[in-house]
Amino acid sequence: MHAAKLRGNAENQRGRAVESYRTVFEVIDMRSFSNLWYWIALAVVWSSASHWVLGVPWDLVQRAMRKGGQAEADFNDITRINVNRILYIADMSGLWLIGFASFFLTSILVLGWYFWIEFCQAIFMIAFPMSLVGGLSIRTARKVDASGIQGEDLYKKLRRQRLITQVIGMISIFVTSIWGMYLNLSVGALGS
């Protein structure tokens, strides 16, 4: 009798746990393109990519352009440090990073569009354009290092890098939103 009562309590607890999980998954829609958190994450990723140009915060670039002096010296120093850091990572483990990134992007591409896993599609829509920005950052770092530019020329180089990043971001957000709307409308049409 006591064992039956314990078994009944355990089943009730399992039932409550299942209901809790079900409630969480109803509140947090696990389909990526209809999930508000995905769109917030997408905005944060592109906002951060636009703000940190070669690892240098854009507000520091603006302050250095306006004030000069110590702000410009700090800007030149932090840019040199970040360029050296990016190039060190690219030179030491660049081939490994390219291999892992290619494997990862190919895997989520196949999982997303061949096996039709929406989460992988959503991750690809962020990861692929960010890999382009990463490659452009390495290219810009190599140019900055080779030319040894500072001051006004360096501002122009970082401004151009930021503009290219923003254009890639705008195209990425546009394509992602079109694809997300298509999926949400097609799922809605299937459900009715």
Q: Provide the pairing of β-strand 56-57 with 52-53.
A: antiparallel
Interatomic CA distance for residues 49 and 113, integer angstroms? 26
pLDDT tier, 161 (very low <50, low <70, confident <90, very high otherwise): very high
For the chain, what are the domain ranges?
1-30, 31-191
Interatomic CA distance for residues 62 and 60, integer angstroms? 5
Q: What is the per-residue pLDDT for 40?
A: 95
Q: What is the per-residue pLDDT for 187?
A: 73
Angle formed at CA 36 by CA 21 and CA 116, multiple of 5 degrees: 75
Q: Which amino acid is at 101?
A: A
Interatomic CA distance for residues 32 and 187, integer angstroms? 12
Alpha helices in the chain (DSSP H): 2-27, 36-51, 58-67, 69-109, 118-147, 152-191
Three-class secondary structure of residue 3 per DSSP? helix
Q: What is the per-residue pLDDT for 51?
A: 97
Q: What is the per-residue pLDDT for 147?
A: 95
Digit-coded pLDDT (tens) for 10-69: 666 676 766 766 665 555 555 789 888 999 999 999 999 999 999 999 999 999 999 999
At residue 117, what are phi and psi to the nearest 5 degrees? -100, 110
Of 17-21, 33-37, 147-151, 178-182, give the lowest mean pLDDT range: 17-21
Reported pTM: 0.82
